[in-house]
């Protein structure tokens, strides 16, 4: 494998050199590419190390269960701090000021809820995926199939959004061709996941999280130092510079009516509790105690990160908005609003630091897509192949092989879809991913843990109903019906369907469970008590393997 990696690195630098010359107006691409290559070399080294330690299915899916709470907290935060949230939220603050903060708060508050209601029970009941928990006392056939499809749908939508975003970002940062950038991302993530499994994916995520937090801290400190660490002075200068003036200091149009406000909140909160790549991380720690600590650290890192992006957005207003160096002929910011943080990094740290932040942004994309791919591959190999198709009668070596093939397939699919969607409007995709996670994955998972009356039929039919409602309402809503399909008026007026689709899912699950009087349903209800006691105490839960 080593030889292969070297060959790959060689090819990568070959391509990088001419590309840098084409657009290397300020020599910036060379330092960015060198730093990125260092990151790639380091992470491939880690993958090589992890590959030797990834022997069993448990190693592959959960890194052997030996990750500490602190490490896992960083990795979870890393999963959440995608390039989209770093560049997107600072870009939103740059554009709208205070509204960016409202958005990031919504993304954060799901974490405490996950800690209080989900984290420990999930760890005590599951093994590799959240479908393990759902099918703990329910029939694995229908419930795992539903959970797997919910997972795959969420992962693919998220993945396409990340791939398209990354292709465009890399195009601007490194001057590489869009399709080539997407292929690099796809190939590297396939390497990390197939060879290094969860162990490599986790460490790539941890390294990136540390780099991203360090880089963002430096930018924010540089901005604050300029203003003598006075927020008031920073805001005063920003208000003077921004065309919207004092308006950037108060809530604008992001949340206009109460229904949208409630619905957005539900999508973000319950969506988080249904994201397969986040839920999967709870199985990488030894026990419920470490799972709990993971969320504590993750909440801290993410909260801190959002405060930084807020400062960075305001800093960009001051240092970038009126600086001709970062504006095109029409006076617009080069590369769009999402480039605000990148330009700011140049303004406060020069070419070298710009290279560093660009490389970190690239690394961020790689780490996030790897986590997504692993979660998608696990849904295919562990839930669909091993548990549904083979009914658990499969040896580890075969299951591992299937998971690697699944990784390869998802990776290639992500590359192809990433290229196919280059020119499409994909703004709805992350929203739809959250809506599906909140309306299909979360209600089934939540009720399987808390409600004795849940039956297989109820979970399957209700969950499916939630899934379909979410998809249909997103299609009929403003983001797809109007923005993508070009119709003048949306059929469903709200941008975020979660309030409706989550309600439909819960009512559906309740109704179909209630009317289920079969013998199996009765047995499933009786099995709840034993499951509940294991969820509460962790007695009988999956332990960690020692290496």
Partner 1 sequence: MKTEILQKLKSNPRLWELIEKREKFSWTMAIIMLIVYYAFILTIAFDPSLLGKPLSENMVTTVGIPVGIGVIVFAFILTGIYVNKANKEFDVITKELHDSVKDEL
Q: How does 378-411 read in b/e, with b if 16+ C-beta sit within 10 Å?
A: bbbbbbbbbbbeeeeebeeeebbebbbebbeebb
SS3 string, 146-200, reads HHHHHHHHHHHHHHHHHHHHHHHHHHHHHCCCHHHHHHHHHHHHHHHHHHHHHHH
Closer CB to partner 1, residue 42 or residue 117?
A: 117
From the CB of 446, what's the least distance to partner 1, in Å?
12
Closer CB to partner 1, residue 251 or residue 336?
A: 251
The Cα–Cα gap between 89 and 104 comes to 7
- Reported as type and span, the H/E element at residue 23 is helix 2-23
From the CB of 74, what's the least distance to partner 1, in Å?
15
The Cα–Cα gap between 368 and 375 comes to 11
- 140-174 helix and 28-53 helix, angle to the nearest 10 degrees: 150
Assigned token pair, 390: 């083979």
Closer CB to partner 1, residue 10 or residue 112?
A: 112
198 Cβ neighbours under 8 A, 6+ residues apart = 54, 59, 60, 61, 62, 63, 280, 284, 374
The Cα–Cα gap between 496 and 100 comes to 17
From the CB of 177, what's the least distance to partner 1, in Å?
39
From the CB of 211, what's the least distance to partner 1, in Å?
22
From the CB of 290, what's the least distance to partner 1, in Å?
11
The Cα–Cα gap between 24 and 527 comes to 65
What DSSP letter does each residue of 86-106 carry, written as one string?
HHHHHHHHHHHTHHHHHHHHH
From the CB of 516, what's the least distance to partner 1, in Å?
25
Closer CB to partner 1, residue 13 or residue 256?
A: 256
Closer CB to partner 1, residue 300 or residue 493?
A: 300
From the CB of 343, what's the least distance to partner 1, in Å?
23
From the CB of 252, what's the least distance to partner 1, in Å?
8
From the CB of 221, what's the least distance to partner 1, in Å?
17
Whether 245 contacts 88, CB under 8 Å:
no
Assigned token pair, 286: 């030894």
Whether 487 contacts 481, CB under 8 Å:
yes
Beta bridge partners of 67: 285
Q: In Å, how far are 152, 332, 445 from 463, measured between CA atoms?
A: 15, 45, 10
From the CB of 198, what's the least distance to partner 1, in Å?
24
The Cα–Cα gap between 138 and 525 comes to 9
Closer CB to partner 1, residue 71 or residue 381?
A: 71
Burial grade of 192 (CB within 10 A; 0-12, 13-18, 19 or more): buried
Closer CB to partner 1, residue 38 or residue 105?
A: 105
What DSSP letter does each residue of 43-81 carry, written as one string?
HHHHHHHHHHH--SHHHHHHGGG-B-HHHHHHHHHHHHS
Whether 82 contacts 302, CB under 8 Å:
no
- Residue 19, by phi and psi: left (phi above 0), alpha (psi -120 to 50) or beta? alpha
Closer CB to partner 1, residue 260 or residue 483?
A: 260
From the CB of 540, what's the least distance to partner 1, in Å?
5
Closer CB to partner 1, residue 97 or residue 466?
A: 97
Closer CB to partner 1, residue 254 or residue 419?
A: 254
SS3 category, 518: coil
Closer CB to partner 1, residue 295 or residue 341?
A: 295
From the CB of 448, what's the least distance to partner 1, in Å?
16
Closer CB to partner 1, residue 96 or residue 343?
A: 96
Whether 392 contacts 204, CB under 8 Å:
no
For 310, how many CA atoms within 13 A lie in the half-sphere containing its CB?
18
From the CB of 523, what's the least distance to partner 1, in Å?
15
Closer CB to partner 1, residue 98 or residue 428?
A: 98
Closer CB to partner 1, residue 141 or residue 303?
A: 303
From the CB of 105, what's the least distance to partner 1, in Å?
5
Residues that bind partner 1 (CB under 8 A): 98, 101-102, 104-106, 108-109, 111-113, 115-117, 120, 231-232, 235-236, 239, 246, 249-252, 254-258, 260-262, 264-265, 269, 289, 292-293, 295-296, 299-300, 303, 306-307, 310, 529-530, 533-534, 536-540
């Amino acid at each position: 494998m080593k030889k292969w990696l070297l060959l790959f690195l060689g090819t990568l630098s070959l391509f990088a050199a001419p590309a840098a010359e084409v657009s290397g107006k300020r020599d910036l691409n060379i330092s960015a590419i060198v730093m990125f290559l260092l990151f790639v070399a380091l992470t491939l080294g880690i993958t090589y190390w992890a590959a030797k330690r990834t022997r069993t299915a448990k190693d592959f899916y959960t890194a052997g269960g030996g990750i500490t709470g602190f490490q896992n907290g960083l990795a979870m935060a890393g999963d959440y701090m995608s390039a989209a949230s770093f560049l997107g939220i600072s870009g939103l603050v740059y554009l709208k000021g205070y509204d960016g903060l409202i958005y990031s708060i919504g993304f954060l508050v799901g974490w405490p809820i996950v800690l209080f209601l989900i984290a420990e029970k999930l760890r005590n009941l599951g093994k590799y995926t959240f479908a393990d928990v759902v099918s703990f006392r329910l029939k694995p056939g229908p419930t795992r199939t539903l959970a797997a499809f919910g997972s795959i749908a969420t992962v693919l939508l998220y993945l396409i959004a990340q791939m398209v975003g990354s292709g465009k970002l890399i195009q601007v940062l490194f001057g590489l061709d869009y399709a080539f950038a997407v292929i690099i991302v796809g190939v590297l993530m396939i390497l990390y996941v197939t060879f290094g499994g969860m162990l490599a994916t986790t460490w790539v995520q941890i390294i990136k999280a540390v780099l991203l937090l360090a880089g963002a801290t430096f930018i924010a400190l540089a901005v604050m130092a300029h203003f003598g660490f006075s927020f008031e002075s920073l805001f005063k200068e920003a208000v003077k510079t921004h065309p919207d003036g004092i308006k950037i200091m108060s809530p604008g149009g992001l949340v206009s009516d109460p229904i949208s406000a409630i619905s957005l909140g539900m999508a973000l909160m319950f969506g988080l509790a249904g994201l397969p790549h986040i839920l999967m991380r709870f199985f990488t720690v030894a026990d419920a105690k470490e799972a709990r600590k993971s969320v504590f650290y993750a909440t801290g890192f993410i909260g801190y990160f959002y405060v930084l992006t807020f400062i960075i957005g305001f800093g960009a207003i001051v240092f970038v908005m009126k600086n001709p160096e970062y504006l095109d002929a029409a006076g617009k910011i080069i590369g769009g609003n999402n480039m605000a943080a990148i330009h700011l990094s140049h303004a406060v740290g020069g070419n070298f630091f710009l290279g560093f932040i660009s490389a970190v942004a690239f690394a961020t994309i790689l780490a996030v897509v790897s986590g997504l791919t692993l979660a998608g591959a696990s849904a295919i190999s562990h839930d669909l192949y091993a548990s549904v198709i083979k009914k658990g009668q499969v040896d580890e070596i075969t299951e591992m092989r299937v998971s690697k093939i699944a990784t390869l397939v998802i990776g290639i699919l992500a590359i192809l879809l990433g290229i196919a969607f280059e020119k499409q409007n994909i703004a709805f995709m992350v929203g739809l991913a959250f809506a599906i996670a909140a309306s299909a994955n979360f209600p089934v998972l939540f009720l399987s843990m808390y409600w004795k009356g849940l039956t297989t039929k109820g979970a399957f039919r209700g969950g499916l109903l939630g899934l379909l409602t979410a998809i249909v309402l997103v299609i009929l809503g403003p983001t797809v019906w109007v923005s993508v399909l070009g119709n003048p008026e949306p059929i469903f007026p709200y941008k975020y369907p979660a309030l409706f689709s989550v309600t439909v899912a819960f009512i559906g699950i309740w109704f179909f469970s209630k009317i289920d009087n079969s013998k199996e349903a009765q047995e499933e209800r009786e099995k709840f008590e034993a499951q509940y006691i294991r969820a509460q105490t962790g007695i009988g839960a999956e332990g960690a393997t020692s290496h």
